[in-house]
Structure formats: C-alpha cells, structure tokens
Amino acid sequence: MRQFAREEVAPAAEELDRTKSFPYELISKLGGLGLMGIPFPEDQGGGGADTLAYTMAIEELARIDSSVAITVAAHTSLGTMPIHLWGTDEQKSEWMPALCAGEKLASFGLTEPEAGSDAGNTSTTATLTDGEWVINGAKQFITNSGTDISGCVTITAVTGRSNGGGGGAERKEISNIIVPNGTPGYEQGEPYRKMGWNASDTRPLSFDDCRVPESNLLGRRGDGFKQFMQILDGGRIGVSAMGVGLAQGALDEALAYAKERRAFGQPISRFQTIQAKIADLSAQIEAARLLTYRAAIQKDRGEPFTLTAAQAKLITGRLAVRATEEAVQIHGGYGYIEEYPVCRFYRDAKVLTIGEGTDEVQQMVIARQLGC
Ligand code: CAA
C-alpha cells in the first residue's frame, strides 16, 4: 500500500482534491491489487488478512491522501463488514465478491438529520408489507453512496417497537436492511460541499416508499442498533489509522521542507523551535500508532476492544489536527497555498475529530467503559 500510495495516489491527489473528482481509476487499481477487501476471507474474494494489516494499509494511504483513504476505509469497515459479519450465504454471494474486488462500493446508512451522536434516535421506518420492506425516511453524510459504482447501502430503520421481551419500557426496534442502488424510491442527493475529503463521495439519502424484499434484512430483526455500534467500534480503528497516517504525512512533509528551506543563512531544521515541533510530533505519532495497533490486535485476538478503539480515535483525531497545523506553520506562507500537500492535509484533518463518533462521543464511550 505504501508503494501504491507513493506511486499512484501522490501524483493524482492534488488534482482530484481541486476538481472534487471521485478517484475511480485508483479504486479500480486498488480492487485489482486485492486491497478493497483486505480483512475478508479469501473464499469471499477478500484478502484474507487481519485487522492489523488493514490498519497499516489505511495508515499508508492517509499518509498521502485522506480522500482515497476514507473511500477505502468506509467501504471496508463500514460498508462491507456488516454483510461479512451478518449476511446470509445468499447475501454474501450476491455482494462480497464484487465489493472485495472494488467493482462495487458499499455504504453505511446510520446518521440522520436528527440522529448523529444520538444514533439510536433513528426515525427512518421500514414496514413489512406483503413480503417487502417499505422504507421511508432520510439519511445524511453517507460516504460512498452516490458514485457510479455504489452498489448498496445498509441502513438502520425502525421496524417496530419492543420491550426486549422483558417488562422494561417499550422502545424502538431497530433493524438493518440492505438497499441496492437503483431501487425505486431510493434517491441520493447532491454531494456536500465539504471543508476537506474533497475527492470522496458524501451525500444525503432519501427513501420514499422504497421497497426491498424481506430477505434484505441483515442479521436478526431488532439487532440493528447493536450491530451498528459493533461496526462503529471496528470502524474507529480504521479512522484512527487515518489520523496516524495523516499526522505522519504532515510530519514527512514538514521535515523535508525544514531541511530544504533556508533562513538566516541555514536550513530551518537547525533551529530549536522547529526541532522541538518535529521531535514532539514524532514522539506523539509513534505513541498514537502503537495505541491504534493495540486496538487492532485486540480485535484480531477476539478480545474486547471498544475502549482501546475509542481511546485511539480520540487521540489520533486530535493529533492529526495538531500535526497538520504545525506542518503548515513550519511551511510558513507556502503552507497556506494549495501547491503544498500540507494545505490539503490541514483541511482534511478536522473531520477526524467529528466523523465516526465525535471526540465527545469517544469521551462518553471511554468513561462508560471505565465504569462511570
Ligand atoms: N457494541 C455492542 N453493543 C453496544 C455498543 C457497542 N459498542 N454500544 C452500545 N451497545 C448496546 C448497549 O449494550 C445497549 O443494549 P441493551 O439495551 O441490550 O443493554 C444498546 O446498544 C443501547 O446502548 P446505549 O443505551 O449505550 O445507547 P445510547 O443511545 O446511550 O448511545 C452512544 C450510545 C455511544 C452515544 C452511541 O449512540 C454512539 O456511538 N453514537 C455515535 C454514533 C457515531 O459514531 N456516528 C458516526 C457515524 S458513521 C461515520 O461517521 C462514518 C464516516 O464519517 C465516514
């Protein structure tokens, strides 16, 4: 992935960002190299690798470009993973080979206008009528949903009300349903005008009496919220890898620039103020990397990893923001113009403290895990 990122992604990244163009060619090449389904079994078309390998791959991509990295990460950990984990044999054989080959993209439809951090407040409904789910509602900020190769979105929808079989208060029964692109009644809105991640595809979705077969239910009816929380835990490792990669990319650029740029008769890398920034970043990146790998290793060993993944997500998002800011600072005025990658890196960093659970959600998850 490092070689691919340097040889194929780096020369294209600036133009893709500037023209807000989806990286079709790169995704197709990644698919050809077996990198669009890294952690899935080989008999389903995947790479047969583990979470740690996937984490390192995302890190190397984000070191060069975050738009391509989020496209791969959202497709893998959020879009394809639910089908891998809970799909029936029929669902897997319908979707996994094309998704792992990068011929189709999968997306994850959790967030709604009134259900962001409060993810359980889903109001999209799916009513079972004559063997079909009739879906009505809206989703927003959905990555990979409206490209020419988007294959499906897996959404959370309210499918009824339940009290969990006990005497507790009645609450929404949330289930997951696969909706293929092209289904009548399922529309993708115009892409958002974002601060960064300009070459990735992010749209609002609407469902208006959209009908899919009953067999498109993913996993058990009523398990939807828990399934999606589990997916988010794993997705947070991928997004942490993006933070580590982006921070490392910013440091790479800042270090190279500091060695080249001369002021007061010498390279600015000789000045202690610059050295302190570079040294601090290098130490913090290494610590964040190891925390991220630890979450991946815990997941691979089948150990609980909710806590570590949230800790890693919290630390790496903040680190990416700080590292890209310092990299721009080291570049001085040049850092503020788009010819230098650090300018794009700075815009791409901020979302890492928001997407896949805000910093405040990570703090909530961590505190709960610690018993608060
Ligand atoms: N794994 C499995 N089950 C879990 C779970 C987890 N990590 N977290 C909660 N659950 C279960 C609980 O055990 C509980 O089940 P029971 O009722 O049987 O006990 C049920 O789910 C409800 O849990 P909570 O009462 O804790 O739920 P809550 O409403 O208080 O919310 C929350 C918890 C942590 C705040 C959660 O809503 C959350 O994570 N919100 C943030 C959502 C988020 O990250 N959105 C990002 C969208 S994706 C994205 O951003 C992609 C992108 O950019 C590219």
Share of the chain above pLDDT 70, in %: 99
Average pLDDT, whole number, for the chain?
97
156-211 confidence digits (pLDDT tens): 999 999 776 666 778 899 999 999 999 999 999 999 999 999 999 999 999 999 99
Which of 192, 229, 231, 303 to mutate to test ligand 1, by most ligand atoms within 8 A of the CB atom?
229
Q: How far is the CA of 358 from the centre of ligand 1 (A)?
A: 12
CA of 202 to the centre of ligand 1 (A): 22
- Please state, in angstroms and rounded to a whole number, the distance separating the CA atoms of residues 133 and 142: 21
Rounded distance between C-alpha atoms, residue 234 and residue 58, angstroms: 13
Q: What is the pLDDT of residue 162?
A: 79
User: Phi, psi at residue 129, to the nearest 5°?
Assistant: -135, 120
233 lines ligand 1 (CB under 6 A): yes
Question: Does ligand 1 come within 6 angstroms of the Cβ of 117?
Answer: yes
183 lines ligand 1 (CB under 6 A): no
Question: pLDDT tens digits for 238-297?
Answer: 999 999 999 999 999 999 999 999 999 999 999 999 999 999 999 999 999 999 999 999
Question: Which of 112, 173, 326, 356 does the annotation list as catalytic?
Answer: 356
* DSSP string for 149-179: TEEEEEEEEEEEEE-TTTTS--EEEEEEEEE
Give the tens place of pLDDT for each residue, 319-343. 999 999 999 999 999 999 999 999 9
Residue pLDDT, tens place only, 77-125: 999 999 999 999 999 999 999 999 999 999 999 999 999 999 999 999 9
- How many other CB atoms sit within 10 Å of the CB of residue 21? 14
